A = this chain, B = another copy of it.
Amino acid sequence: MAFKHSFQVRWVDTDGAGVVHFSNYLRYFEVCEEEFYRSLNLDFKTIRARYLVALPRIEAYCNYKASCRFGDEIEVSLSVREIADKTVTYDFQVFLKADNKLAAEGYLKCIAVNEKWRAIPLPSELAKVIRQSSV
């Protein structure tokens, strides 16, 4: 099951072409990821405090299908693609809600690091919580 989060395109997200700047889709992915963690009673700070781990991105990808414009209602969906030893990869899709059109899709690959930003195994408790969310 994908996790879903909806919000509106803000004026500041648009560029001189009248559409959302391409870099902002990665920010939309991240907003959805934040809400996903919140739905698990987690957030970046809690993850860091409880599991002594941070999850910076090592890869980001986006494929652009259709433009989003100011005021558009969009729905971002997140699904867990893969949980590996030290990484977790989330797939994202951005839909224009007015016509349920796919605007963009991509992924973020995150790596578990300790406070010195050295890669470490994903804490098993955290992996379990993430895995269960996606059933």
Q: Could you say which of A8, A12, A64, A70 has the most chain B C-beta atoms within 10 Å of its C-beta?
A: A12
* A11 interface residue per 8 A CB criterion: yes
CA of A23 to CA of B22 in the docked complex: distance in angstroms? 10
Q: Whole-angstrom distance between the alpha carbons of A56 and B65 in the complex?
A: 11
Interface size class of A (residues with CB under 8 A): 35 or more
Chain B positions within 8 Å of A76 at CB level:
none
A30 to B60, CA, bound (A): 16
Q: CA of A44 to CA of B59 in the docked complex: distance in angstroms? A: 28
The residue from B12, B62, B71, B117 contacting A45, defined by CB atoms under 8 A apart: B71
A134 at the interface (CB under 8 A from B): no
Chief secondary structure at chain A's binding surface: mixed
**Interface: A39 (CB within 8 A):** no
- Chain multiplicity (copies): 4
Q: Which residue from B15, B61, B63 sits with its C-beta under 8 Å from A15?
A: B15
**Complex contacts, A70 vs chain B, CB 8 Å:** 16, 43-45
CB pair B10–A34 under 8 Å, yes or no, is: yes
By the criterion CB–CB under 8 Å, are B23 and A11 in contact?
no
Q: Which of B30, B44, B71, B117 contacts A43 (CB 8 A)?
A: B71
Of the candidates B16, B56, B71, the one whose C-beta lies within 8 Å of that of A22 is: B56
Please tell me if the beta carbons of B58 and A64 are within 8 angstroms of each other in the complex: yes
